[in-house]
C-alpha cells in the first residue's frame, strides 16, 4: 500500500518507536495529503519494475495527477518498460474502473468495521475513542483490511465486472454491513452516543468522495511545492517503550507453544516462529558483540 498524509513523521510512529517501512507500506506526504504528479510518477515506475518479465496493461482514469505523471515519464529519458497505460473514456470510471466495481467499497467496509470495534472497545473501557484514535492505528486497520480480508478472487471478479465479462460472486458485502449494523445497535446503548448517523453515511461519507475539479487546480499546485509538515497529526499519542529482545523471545515462545497445543495448530506458523526465533537470536548475538566492543574501547 502507498499512503499519502500531510505529516512527514507522525508523532504516533515516533512515540511507539515504530519504523514506517516495517509495516510494509510506502509513505509519502505533502501539505494537502493529495496524490500529485510526482508521487504518481514514482508509483508508476515502482509498478513497472514489479512487472519485469511481463507485459501488462494499466487502466487509468484521467485524474490530473495521473495525466501529469504520464507526461513526466514521456518527457524523460527513462520510459516504462513493461507497462502500457490505457486511459478509460471520460466520465466512465463508475462503469469500467475495477476499483469502482466493489474493490474500494469492500476494502472500506472492512476498515470501517475495525473502526467501529475500536469505538466499542474504548467506550467499554471507559475511554474516549475519538481521543485515543491515531494515524498508526488507522493505518494498521487499512493494511489488515487490504492484505487479510479483501480477497484476490474479489479483485479478479471486480475486473471481470468492469470488462463486462461474467464475474463470479463478489464477497458478500451485505454480511459485513450486517455485522456493522449489529455493532451500531450496541453503540445506541452507549449514553454518549445520542445521535448515531445512518450506517450508509458512516460507510461512505460525502467528504470522502474524490473530485478533480478545475477550481482545485491552485490547491493542487500548492500541494506540489509547499512542504509537508513535520507532524500535523492530532489525537492521543500512545507512548510504547522499546521491546527488549528477551521479552520478544518469551512472547514468541508462548505463541509457538499455544499453536502446538491446539488440535488444529498452524504448522506453517510454527515453522515461521522457529525461523523468527533464530533471526532474533542472531540479532541478540550481534547486539552483545557490539556492546562488548564498546566496553573494550571505553575501558
Q: Is 175 exposed, middle or buried (0-12, 13-18, 19+ CB in 10 A)?
A: exposed
Spatial contact of 210 and 194, defined as CB atoms under 8 Å apart: no
Phi, psi of 27, deg, nearest 5 = -110, 125
Q: What is the pTM of this model?
A: 0.73
- CA dihedral over 277, 282, 283, 287, signed as positive or negative: positive
Strand blocks (E) in the chain? 2-5, 26-29, 56-60, 83-87
Q: What pLDDT digit, counting tens, does each position of 36-83 carry?
A: 999 999 999 999 999 999 999 998 988 889 999 999 999 999 999 999
Regions of the chain short of the pLDDT cut 70: 166-175, 191-200, 209-236, 291-299
**For residue 283, what pLDDT is reported?**
87
**For residue 123, what pLDDT is reported?**
85
Integer Cα distance of 28 and 43 in angstroms: 11
**For residue 117, what pLDDT is reported?**
87
Q: How far is C-alpha 257 from the geometric centre of its chain's CA atoms?
A: 31
Q: Which three cell numbers stand for residue 103?
A: 474493490
Q: Is 130 exposed, middle or buried (0-12, 13-18, 19+ CB in 10 A)?
A: exposed
73-110 burial: b if 16+ Cβ within 10 Å, else e: beeeeeebeebebeeeeeeebeebbbbbbbbbbbbbbb
Q: What pLDDT digit, counting tens, does each position of 95-116 carry?
A: 888 888 888 888 988 898 888 8
**For residue 251, what pLDDT is reported?**
93
How, if at all, do strands 56-60 and 83-87 pair?
Answer: parallel
What is the domain partition of the chain in residue ranges? Answer: 92-195, 245-298
**For residue 272, what pLDDT is reported?**
92
**For residue 41, what pLDDT is reported?**
96
Task: Look at residues 16, 240, 236 and name the one whose alpha carbon lies nearest to residue 131.
Answer: 236
Integer Cα distance of 164 and 186 in angstroms: 40
Integer Cα distance of 61 and 29 in angstroms: 22
**For residue 212, what pLDDT is reported?**
57
Amino acid at each position: 500500500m502507498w499512503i499519502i498524509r500531510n505529516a512527514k513523521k507522525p508523532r504516533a510512529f515516533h512515540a511507539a518507536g515504530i519504523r514506517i517501512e516495517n509495516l510494509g507500506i510506502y509513505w509519502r506526504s505533502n501539505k494537502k495529503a493529495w496524490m500529485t504528479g510526482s508521487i504518481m510518477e514514482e508509483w508508476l515506475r515502482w509498478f513497472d519494475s514489479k512487472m519485469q518479465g511481463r507485459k501488462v496493461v494499466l487502466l487509468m482514469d484521467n485524474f490530473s495527477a495521473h495525466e501529469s505523471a504520464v507526461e513526466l515519464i514521456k518527457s524523460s529519458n527513462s520510459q516504462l518498460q513493461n507497462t502500457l497505460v490505457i486511459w478509460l473514456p471520460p466520465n466512465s470510471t463508475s462503469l469500467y474502473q475495477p476499483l469502482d466495481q466493489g474493490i474500494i467499497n469492500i476494502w472500506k467496509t472492512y476498515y470501517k468495521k475495525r473502526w467501529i470495534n475500536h469505538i466499542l472497545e474504548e467506550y467499554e473501557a471507559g475511554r474516549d475513542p475519538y481521543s485515543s484514535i491515531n494515524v498508526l492505528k488507522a493505518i494498521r486497520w487499512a493494511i489488515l483490511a487490504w492484505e487479510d480480508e479483501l480477497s484476490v478472487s474479489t479483485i479478479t471478479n471486480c475486473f471481470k465486472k468492469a470488462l463486462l465479462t461474467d464475474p463470479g460472486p463478489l464477497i458478500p458485502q451485505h454480511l459485513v454491513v450486517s455485522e456493522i449494523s449489529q455493532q451500531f445497535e450496541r453503540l445506541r446503548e452507549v449514553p454518549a452516543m445520542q445521535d448515531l448517523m445512518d450506517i450508509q453515511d458512516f460507510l461512505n461519507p460525502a467528504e470522502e468522495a474524490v473530485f478533480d475539479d478545475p477550481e482545485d487546480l491552485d490547491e493542487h499546485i500548492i500541494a506540489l511545492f509547499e512542504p509537508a509538515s513535520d507532524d500535523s497529526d492530532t489525537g492521543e499519542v500512545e507512548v510504547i517503550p522499546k521491546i527488549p529482545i528477551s521479552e520478544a523471545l518469551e512472547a514468541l515462545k508462548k505463541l509457538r507453544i499455544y499453536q502446538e497445543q491446539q488440535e488444529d495448530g498452524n504448522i506453517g506458523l510454527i515453522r515461521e516462529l522457529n525461523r523468527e526465533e533464530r533471526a532474533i537470536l542472531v540479532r541478540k548475538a550481534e547486539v552483545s558483540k557490539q556492546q562488548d566492543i564498546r566496553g573494550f574501547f571505553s575501558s
